[in-house]
Structure 1
């Protein structure tokens, strides 16, 4: 503790680092490096146990206010935790959508009853969540949502299809953007509903990816039901709540993500040195450029931390998604012809092949490049809106 009993950032970093070193041992030692995007199938049950262990120690929901069961940490301490978590190669989180997206949304927009019902099991990793936003005809264009919800007594009846729904196959609940006003268009008439997944009328179908895994899913709602009080915010005002959720999506965890990126780049650089690819001037230049761009990305993240202005999150998404996709392409060039051959049957990918294939999705999920650029152009630069097909 500091001179006046306040823990300094350096002391907090040391405490986090020591705790992770002590606890990523024994039955959890084998989880280092497992999970995360493209690898959500790895040791899933064991990672749930690990997160419950984190919860018991008070290391979940770091940004939530203390009065809502969170740790109430400052932004700088949140950054420190995510950086040290990544440096320790602690496993990918299975409860990210609940802790980092829905939880803060309920704190900001939920009723006291909703907060009391849902925040504790999210914090304790007793209930897992998925996000019902994208649809076949409304991927990153959420205003085109066509899934409907109609009132039937004291329940909402939900019908429609969602797609690219991460971890829907293991989720207990889904936060769903649905059209509750018949005949409404675009942003108007949408509502934000909490829908239980384990019920008749909910059908989850995995989407097989290039990596051979299937963490994304299609979700079909066929007259699925949820109580009327599972509406977050006001009826017809779901767009505002949904945008609030998206604002939470790209927070301090981005800086932890960049630690992982730096590790990948360091390992790729060593591979290039080892197999001689670094002697190619073009490869050497691209490796150097990747290091510089990663430093720029970190500087941008630190400069805009906590900045809620429109455009900040979109720029951040464009930066990391394009950088990571380019890293996957560079990895294939570094590996050369060997990158075209799997390690074994039937489809045993190595880490670089998996990085290359999964990172193709980086510029699509969480908001495609095209949509991010449109938001920046229209809402930040004030350029004319893109013409919509009628």
Structure 2
């Protein structure tokens, strides 16, 4: 694996840094609501119009067709410029649905949806987990009945990220009523304006409606919206999950190092209850040093994973190990900053811009569940990477 930056890589970094220096939004992203969704659309549209959308997407599908290493450079520069990245309403479309369609979609599906995703015109949500089928995704019950050229869907989905603002949904349903576990599932593109869909936002401790419950009452979707094959959707879902748990978290993986550096800077300024600067406390200094080492290790893992994905065409199970590591480091960083800030750390009114560290701490708990719980990531790592016996 050659991780040496070429002249082209260095030129790309310089160009990206220059563009971001004059184009990053000067106003903070609204805390939540329709205004936040519109902010995300506008930012994605700006990247698209200036030729920065889909850095590593193939040129045939509207991307820049650049290397995985240049994708890493782009995310590093986003983090450096403190620019918005994909922990918002564009994330599912760009990092789940788009790559899944590129890998598994029909020519018609790609031609219709990919330009809308890249331009920010279409926002997506994920309809996988259910109230009784979260971590155990294979036990989902939402059913789809094939009726001529349509599929009628009835059931419910939970943890549907920003569903209230989404235009489309990647929907996993059970189309074979006699099937069990991974068999008999179908991956379906769901237009969220379809009659029979009801979205109920759920306010969380982040004081937003990021999480939604979605109900389907005989909602009918064209059979042509199936990605892959009817009753063979688990294979397509595994592609989606591999993107989500691997390349989908590149932004978080690389932004983590910048956050650790900001925490170290903060430690040199804030004072503890005893009057000493936080960085002078041996325990805090040791934790920050360990976190910086962890962040650098995560960057090395990211580069290795990118290289493997470039070679194979799809991310593999190592994404689960990376997500597990990022989740633990993210949470440990937030807790260390909490130790430095004391009671002020507990103040939060829903405004991320005013209380960024508290928001990150609350988000760290969401992060340990989204994309598969840490327990699931350990199971996948043990089974697919270490070849250990399955848990009973």
TM-score for both structures, normalised by structure 2? 0.88
CA distance in 1, matches of 2:388, 2:266: 44
Tell whether 2:164 aligns with 1:176. Answer: no
Counterpart residue number, 1:20: 20
Greater mean deviation of Cα atoms: 135-144 or 273-282:
273-282
Change (3 A) 1:50 1:65: same
Tell whether 2:92 aligns with 1:92. Answer: no
Counterpart residue number, 1:101: 96
Counterpart residue number, 1:30: 27
Tell whether 2:328 aligns with 1:290. Answer: no
Tell whether 2:335 aligns with 1:329. Answer: yes
- In structure 2, stretches of 5+ residues that fail to align are 1-5, 272-276, 309-313
1:210–1:358 Cα contact (<8 Å) kept:
no
- In the TM superposition, what are the counterparts of 1:48-197 in structure 2 within 5 Å? 48-93=41-86, 94-197=89-192
CA distance in 1, matches of 2:388, 2:315: 17
CA distance in 2, matches of 1:289, 1:156: 52
Tell whether 2:380 aligns with 1:375. Answer: yes
CA distance in 2, matches of 1:277, 1:9: 38
Greater mean deviation of Cα atoms: 139-148 or 261-270:
261-270
1:41–1:213 Cα contact (<8 Å) kept:
no
Greater mean deviation of Cα atoms: 164-173 or 112-121:
112-121
- What's the offset of the Cα at 1:18? 1.1
Q: What SS does structure 1 have at the residue aligned with 2:169?
A: strand
Counterpart residue number, 1:313: 319
- In structure 1, stretches of 5+ residues that fail to align are 1-5
- In the TM superposition, what are the counterparts of 1:158-307 in structure 2 within 5 Å? 158-252=153-247, 254-274=249-269, 275=271, 276-307=277-308
1:78–1:252 Cα contact (<8 Å) kept:
no
1:310–1:380 Cα contact (<8 Å) kept:
no
Greater mean deviation of Cα atoms: 88-97 or 134-143:
88-97
Q: What SS does structure 1 have at the residue aligned with 2:388?
A: coil
- What's the offset of the Cα at 1:92? 3.3
CA distance in 2, matches of 1:302, 1:40: 35
Q: How many residues align?
A: 374
- What's the offset of the Cα at 1:40? 7.7
Tell whether 2:392 aligns with 1:354. Answer: no
Task: Spell out, residue by residue over 1:83-108, the C-alpha distance to the aligned partner (whole angstroms, 9 max, x if none).
Answer: 11221112234322212221121122
TM-score for both structures, normalised by structure 1? 0.89
